[in-house]
């Protein structure tokens, strides 16, 4: 009986590609229906010059039409090629290839984790993943593949590490001790919204540091606890290949070749890092060459769209990986000639066909949904809801949190959402005695709850692809199954962050330097 049930489930499991195709079709049809009934919304937007409200209208674009079909056929290839996760992943995998093939990854991970407890390894990995929000979404490209091999070499199911890291980075997407480039742009929108009531209102770049520090620690502990006590126990035992099981573990005394490889990789990796660190420090002789000096704040100089460092970040990390893997291979004699080096560069690109196909359909779905304007339409409607709600105090805080969380499902981009919502949320909150900085915190924490639950988030496909890469079930993982893994993290993170917000509001603790929950 069990076999029949399993066989039926296996046959009925919908492959992620088929799910994406269905979502694409449903999106096209819904856009046609909404456009036909004249779906549009007008919300109040703050004019940056006049510092007063001006009406802005968003209407749904129909792709269920001849012009819509033209858009799909003429832009699909371009959208795929320009899809950021695609190019970033391919480049990063080159660096991962040589680190893995040379043996550097296995040696380094084994040395760092062989005496550590599983919970400790998971907590450190989760905490690093949250802190990497400073670098933006590109951390997904690095940490998801790294989590897979970290758990694999630790003789644990790689899927557990991938799920934990994705949960950490999504649930921690709005958490950062320092002001990130995204937070800086959001703060500009926040102050623009505040200018409607107080044109002289200002905020510090350290306005969020206290509440963020507490939240980061709380979320890191929470994600670790869920991973070890729920996810790890629910997942099947991963079956390692015989060659992986038979390999001798690294003993107390390292082989001289391994020592030499680690020493060389450490020396040249450190020199490489020092070079780039020096070039992102302003004010020293011949330093700061990778910064964008058209910006005011340092974080914007580092991560603005015109910054050399920001534009080359993926390549910088890839070259670090190549240097570590290459010099380890030279010292450990795992790379003996140029053929070994060349083969190692493409090692992790072998068998990436499924990943590329998934990325193609994910990129198509994201671009089509974006073109319909359904996301901004929903967010604009919610902005009007906040404006007319009459909420204050706790009800307003909860309403902002829920609106942010719900909006994120349909419009993951923080900047796009806040550009629509801030003109309504910030003045309404200020009128209720809630500070603009605290409004931004509530908005960011709402995002943390649901961004890991939407396939419209561009980097969700990387998470999906790597879960499928390590999948040992006799059937493919469905898209909704991978979403289901994130539900415990999202729900509990939402509860914890909302509790932190309410406690901070009740006690009136400073959320950062010069900023409090109330005005």
Confirm whether 518 is domain-assigned.
no
Which single residue is written with the structure tokens 């680190």? Answer: 99
211 half-sphere exposure, CB direction, 13 A CA radius: 34
236 half-sphere exposure, CB direction, 13 A CA radius: 8
Confirm whether 487 is domain-assigned.
yes
Which single residue is written with the structure tokens 């009459």? Answer: 390
- Residue 190 near residue 515, CB atoms below 8 Å: no
Here the tokens at position 357 are 């196909």
d(CA 379, CA 402): 12
d(CA 375, CA 378): 5
> Which H or E run includes 486?
helix 479-507
Here the tokens at position 175 are 């958490």
- Residue 122 near residue 104, CB atoms below 8 Å: no
Confirm whether 291 is domain-assigned.
yes
d(CA 325, CA 358): 28
Here the tokens at position 203 are 């905020």
Our count of domains for the chain comes to: 1
Confirm whether 247 is domain-assigned.
no
- In 10 A of CB 235, how many CB atoms? 14
Name the nearest CA neighbour of 162 among 505, 369, 452.
452
Structural domain boundaries, residue 187: 2-237+256-507
Here the tokens at position 244 are 């992986």
Confirm whether 499 is domain-assigned.
yes
Confirm whether 244 is domain-assigned.
no
d(CA 39, CA 375): 12
The strand ranges marked E within 282-329 are none
pLDDT of residue 12: 61
In eight-state DSSP terms, residue 208 is T
Give the per-residue SS3 of 216-229: HHHHHHHHHHHHHH
The two most distant CA atoms of the chain are separated, in Å, by 75
Here the tokens at position 237 are 């035992």
pTM of the model: 0.91
Report how far apart, in Å, the C-alpha atoms of 216 and of each of 118, 219, 433, 467 are.
20, 5, 26, 25
pLDDT of residue 204: 84
Which 3 state secondary structure label does DSSP give 503? helix
pLDDT of residue 425: 95
Confirm whether 89 is domain-assigned.
yes
pLDDT of residue 431: 94
* First-to-final CA distance of the chain: 65
- In 10 A of CB 425, how many CB atoms? 28
d(CA 101, CA 334): 8
Q: Please, what's the b/e burial string for 334-355 (b: 16 or more CB within 10 A of its CB; e: otherwise)? A: bbeeeebbeebbebbbeebeeb
d(CA 362, CA 282): 40
Confirm whether 243 is domain-assigned.
no
pLDDT of residue 150: 92
d(CA 338, CA 190): 54
Report how far apart, in Å, the C-alpha atoms of 261 and of each of 103, 115, 256, 316 are.
10, 21, 9, 21
Question: For the chain, which residues score pLDDT lower than 50?
Answer: 1-8, 244-249
Name the nearest CA neighbour of 108 among 254, 212, 218, 226.
254
Which 3 state secondary structure label does DSSP give 117? coil
pLDDT of residue 245: 43
């Amino acid at each position: 009986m069990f076999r029949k049930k399993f066989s039926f489930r296996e046959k009925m499991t919908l492959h992620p590609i088929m799910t994406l195709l269905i979502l694409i079709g449903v999106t096209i049809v819904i856009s046609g229906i909404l456009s036909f009934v004249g779906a549009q919304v007008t919300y109040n937007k703050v004019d940056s010059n006049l510092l007063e409200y001006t009406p802005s209208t968003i209407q749904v674009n129909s792709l269920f039409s001849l012009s819509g079909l033209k858009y799909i056929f003429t832009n699909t290839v371009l959208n795929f090629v320009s899809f950021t996760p695609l190019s970033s992943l391919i480049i990063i995998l080159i660096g991962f290839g040589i680190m893995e093939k040379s043996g550097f990854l296995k040696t380094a991970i084994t040395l760092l984790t062989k005496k550590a407890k599983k919970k400790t390894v998971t907590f450190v990995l989760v905490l690093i993943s949250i802190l990497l929000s400073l670098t933006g979404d590109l951390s997904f490209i690095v940490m998801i593949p790294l989590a897979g091999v970290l758990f694999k070499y630790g003789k644990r199911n790689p899927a557990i590490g991938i799920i934990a890291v994705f949960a950490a980075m999504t649930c921690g997407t709005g958490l950062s001790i320092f002001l990130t480039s995204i937070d800086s742009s959001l703060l500009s929108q926040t102050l623009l919204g505040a200018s409607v009531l107080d044109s002289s209102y200002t905020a510090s770049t350290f306005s969020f540091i206290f509440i963020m520090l507490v939240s980061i620690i709380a979320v890191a502990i929470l994600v670790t606890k869920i991973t070890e006590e729920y996810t790890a126990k629910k997942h099947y035992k991963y079956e390692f290949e015989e060659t992986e099981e038979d390999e001798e573990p690294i003993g107390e005394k390292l082989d001289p070749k391994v020592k030499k490889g680690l020493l060389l990789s450490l020396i040249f990796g450190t020199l490489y890092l020092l070079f780039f660190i020096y070039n992102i420090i302003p004010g020293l002789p011949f330093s700061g060459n990778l910064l964008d000096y058209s910006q005011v704040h340092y974080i914007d100089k580092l991560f603005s769209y015109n910054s050399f460092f920001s534009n080359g970040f993926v390549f910088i990390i890839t070259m670090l990986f190549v240097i570590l893997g290459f010099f380890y291979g030279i010292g450990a004699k795992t790379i003996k000639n140029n053929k070994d080096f060349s083969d190692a560069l493409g090692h992790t690109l072998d068998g990436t066909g499924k990943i590329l196909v998934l990325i193609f359909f994910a990129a198509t779905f994201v671009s089509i949904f974006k073109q319909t304007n359904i996301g901004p339409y929903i967010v604009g409607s919610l902005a009007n809801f906040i404006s007319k709600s009459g909420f204050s105090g706790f009800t307003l805080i909860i309403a902002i949190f829920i609106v942010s969380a719900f909006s994120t499902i349909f419009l993951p981009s923080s900047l796009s959402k806040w550009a629509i919502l801030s003109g309504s949320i910030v003045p309404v909150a200020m009128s209720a005695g809630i500070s603009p900085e605290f409004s931004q915190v509530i908005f960011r924490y709402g995002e943390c709850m649901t961004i890991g639950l939407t396939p419209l988030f561009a980097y969700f496909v990387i998470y999906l692809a790597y879960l499928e890469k390590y999948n040992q079930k006799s059937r493919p993982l469905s898209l909704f199954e991978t979403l289901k893994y994130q539900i415990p993290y999202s729900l509990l993170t939402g509860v914890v962050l909302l509790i932190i917000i309410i406690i901070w509001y009740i006690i009136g603790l400073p959320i950062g330097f010069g900023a409090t929950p109330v005005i």
